[in-house]
Amino acid sequence: MDNLIRAGAVEVVGRLAAGEVTPDELLDALSARIATVDPVVNALPTLCWDRARRARPAAPLHGLPVAVKDLSATAGVRTSYGSPIFANHIPDADDHVVARIEARGGAIYAKTNTPEFGAGAQTFNPVFGVTRNPWNTALTPAGSSGGSAVALKTGMAWLAHGSDFAGSLRNPASFCGIVGLRPSVGRVPSGPGADPWGSLWAEGPMARSVADVALFLDALSGQDMREPLSLADPGLSFLGAAQAPRLPARVAYSADLGGITPVDPEIARITEAAARRLERLGVAVEAASPDFTGAHDCFQTLRALGCATDHAEKLTAHPGMIKADLVWNIEKGLALTGEQIAAALRARGAIMARVRAFFETYDLLLCPATIVPPFPVEQRYVESCAGHRFETYVDWLAIAYAITLTGHPALSLPCGFTAAGLPVGVQMVGRWQGEAGLLAQAAALESELGLDPAPIDPRPAVPAVRGPDDTGSFAPEALTGRPVSRPTAGS
């Protein structure tokens, strides 16, 4: 059982295809692992073994168990969105990505914990409580795909589904030491949604290695005619690209994307050292960044518009049942003027044009996936970094949301550890709709770095050393303003 848990997804799928192991045996291995580990980290609050055992194996996943984020409706399975409004909600239909996973041979066995409606890059909610980082259970795994990242790194999943708006997939990948890919918008089905033309939200694969992520992207990708932005099948194997590592010719590295965000000095040092490893392989690595002027106001406006589009009706129908950060975002969206929206759209267009021009010179852009190491699980969000104080709960995510605005694929790759032994991810941004090239380049850097992707057992809670900029902590109840349940494994 331990050998199965430690194996990578590509290896396990190969054994499934060869008949050396059965889907039921994999589910049995996961059940035993989850019973031991999840009470410590609280990553998988909802399990659905019966559904998983009914799944029909098919290529390319051949019956491999897959965990799905609790923001995606799963027919017949409790889907809470981390909200007390939907605490006991059981949908009648699957979201498109859920149906795609099962059609491609995945066996969905668990829902992964997420913040309320995915808002905020810290995984806690009033339904299931907080999820803890396995490298130090006193700390957060980030979010909003925090449950997925923790399940992967603790051996409770071989593949896990995530989604990304302002780094919701990339931040937890960095904090937990796994690989997460935000693909081009439309590469993976993301509907149904209130705005089928929305281009800031993306579903994506998470795993412990680049090859495993590529395997999952092969399963997830392809056109869905119900979604107007969905992309046609590219006619190639993403796994094949990852298994043929290829070096870029010219790479840009920027610790702060041209000065748009502060960065913890240790994070900057570790990610730059990873970028410089490419120089040993003959790659030209230069200090450079696209011009992201206007990114902050642009993203804040478009995020607020999206929050109002998705959640304004809930705010009216369920007063007092939505967390304050999200209420602020919804109300900001409802108060936007046409002039503000027009200005944000113009700014985004200008940023995209500058980034496309940038990639005429560079093959790859590298920067930190997130600007700080994991922080205390009681803290709602990062309020300060390197002497700079943030005004809102999303300001610290600029290094991720600036890339979101461009629509380019972005991958978080484990690249080293802090002095406290916490993982750090480097963000690798590829060319427009260039996932295959990005995966090949990420595989090359992954090989050069040589970090062990194997799962770990949760490690003891060690209080973080608090710096002069840090603010006070909160009890878990204070994160939500409401009592939280304390789920056990299998709840």
The residues carrying an active-site annotation are 69, 144, 168
Angle between helix 295-317 and 338-358 (nearest 10): 130
Q: With 0-12 CB in 10 A as exposed, 13-18 as middle and 19+ as buried, what is 253?
A: buried
CA distances from 396 to 325, 381, 424 (A): 14, 8, 16
Residue 443 host element (H or E): helix 435-449
Q: CA-to-CA distance for 351 and 364, rounded, in angstroms?
A: 17
On whether the CB atoms of residues 181 and 429 are closer than 8 A, the answer is no
Q: Which residues contact 357 (CB under 8 A, 6 or more apart)?
A: none
Of 368, 418, 130, which is closest to residue 263 (Cα–Cα)?
368
Q: Can you tell me whether residue 456 is helix, strand or coil?
A: coil
Residue 180 DSSP symbol: E
- Strand-pairing partners, residue 426, are 368, 413
Q: Can you tell me whether residue 407 is helix, strand or coil?
A: coil
On whether the CB atoms of residues 33 and 152 are closer than 8 A, the answer is no
User: Cβ of 2: how many Cβ atoms within 10 Å?
Assistant: 11
* Residue with token string 């852009």: 365
